[in-house]
Amino acid sequence: MINQWKDGQSPEDKDIQATLLEGGALPRHIAIIMDGNGRWAMDRNLPRAAGHQQGIESVRDIVKASSQLGIGFLTVYAFSMENWKRPRVEVQILMSLLKTYLLQEIDELHANNVRLQAIGKLNALPKNVQTILNESIEKTAGNTGLTLTLALSYSGRWDIVRAVQMIALDIRRGTLSPEDITDEHFSEYLLTKNMPDPDLMIRTSGEMRLSNFLLWESAYSEMYITERLWPDFRREDLYSALRDYLNRERRFGKTSQQLRESDEKEQQQGSIRRIISSFSSR
């Protein structure tokens, strides 16, 4: 029997989620740098692999909670391009965990309307991982709920350089002029082109770095850094991050006063529209 996430929630959890949903606009896109697996294992005198294994439990819970909350996009940094430099055995373990995760989870993700995607230099992954990944992506391609993106063999700088190369090719072919390159147009060349920029970027284990994750896309992301190590991070921690996010003022370079004024202007325009439509419907 496949678990339907909307049925299996405790009443307390439903209450917390309802309060969050009433608290304002939740992020459309959450990005997570899952860090601290090695330290979690070391603290327990366990091999690093045990930390990664436990980290998968956190992935499961956070995917489920995000889907229940109606979050549109969740992107997790599962393997960076720099991670290839780790000891061969650790890389093998991570690849094998990824494969197991996909094999075990894909039916449940699919049954819960999750669309799986991946970004990164995917052809660097072992062939068997590529096959399972592609099958999983294809299977869930038509789903309309949460989009779960795995960043695998990913580097933000690499994606930006790739985009610049493709832009240069288009200019050489004569299909693009340099004057037409805007922020929006540049974004179209990135692997993240079909997603909104992350509104909230979470990093676990207290490190204050972006580590080459979504460098272009995180220009205006709200950062939330917690000391919690990734294998201990569960939905309660996500809720804390969301509460914190709901209390932030996102200014996008403007002043607080400008934001208040544009809010007031929007409210006034809304009232005028309502008055006009009430007249036209008489």
C-beta of 221: minimal distance to ligand FPP in Å?
19
Q: What is the DSSP letter of 1?
A: -
106, 140 Cβ separation under 8 angstroms: yes
Site for ligand FPP in 221-250 (CB under 6 A): 230
Q: Given the rule CB under 6 A, which of 2-10, 30-38, 130-138, 236-244 is the region that contacts ligand FPP?
A: 30-38
Query: Using the rule CB under 6 A, which residue among 26, 59, 129, 195 binds ligand FPP?
Result: 59
The label of the residue with tokens 């393997």 reads: 79
Q: Which one, 5 or 233, has the nearer CB to ligand FPP?
A: 233
Active site residue 35: yes
| Catalytic-role residue among 3, 7, 15, 35 | 35
CA distance between the termini of the chain: 55
Query: Using the rule CB under 6 A, which residue among 31, 71, 93, 98 binds ligand FPP?
Result: 98
The label of the residue with tokens 């969050």 reads: 20
Q: Which of 85, 98, 113 is nearest to 152 (CA)?
A: 98
According to the binding rule CB under 6 A, does residue 119 interact with ligand FPP?
Answer: no
Residue 237: how many other CB atoms lie within 10 Å: 20
C-beta of 152: minimal distance to ligand FPP in Å?
8
Residue type, 117: Q
- Angle between helical axes of 48-69 and 88-111 (0-180°, round to 10): 20
According to the binding rule CB under 6 A, does residue 38 interact with ligand FPP?
Answer: yes
| Alpha helices (runs of H) in the chain, residue ranges in sequence order | 11-22, 37-43, 48-69, 88-111, 127-140, 156-173, 183-187, 235-246, 256-280
According to the binding rule CB under 6 A, does residue 76 interact with ligand FPP?
Answer: yes
- Angle between helical axes of 48-69 and 11-22 (0-180°, round to 10): 60
| Catalytic-role residue among 61, 83, 170, 244 | 83
189, 205 Cβ separation under 8 angstroms: no
- Count residues near ligand FPP (CB under 6 A): 19
Q: Which of 244, 191, 202, 188 is nearest to 76 (CA)?
A: 202
C-beta of 33: minimal distance to ligand FPP in Å?
8
Query: Using the rule CB under 6 A, which residue among 13, 60, 61, 83 binds ligand FPP?
Result: 83
User: Three-class SS of residue 9?
Assistant: coil
Q: Which one, 74 or 190, has the nearer CB to ligand FPP?
A: 74
Query: Using the rule CB under 6 A, which residue among 5, 73, 101, 245 binds ligand FPP?
Result: 101
Q: Given the rule CB under 6 A, which of 14-22, 52-60, 236-244, 271-279 is the region that contacts ligand FPP?
A: 52-60
Query: Using the rule CB under 6 A, which residue among 74, 150, 201, 242 binds ligand FPP?
Result: 150
59, 15 Cβ separation under 8 angstroms: no
Q: Which one, 91 or 181, has the nearer CB to ligand FPP?
A: 91
Residues that bind ligand FPP (CB under 6 A): 34-39, 52, 55-56, 59, 76, 78, 83, 94, 97-98, 101, 150, 230
- Residues carrying an active site annotation: 35, 83
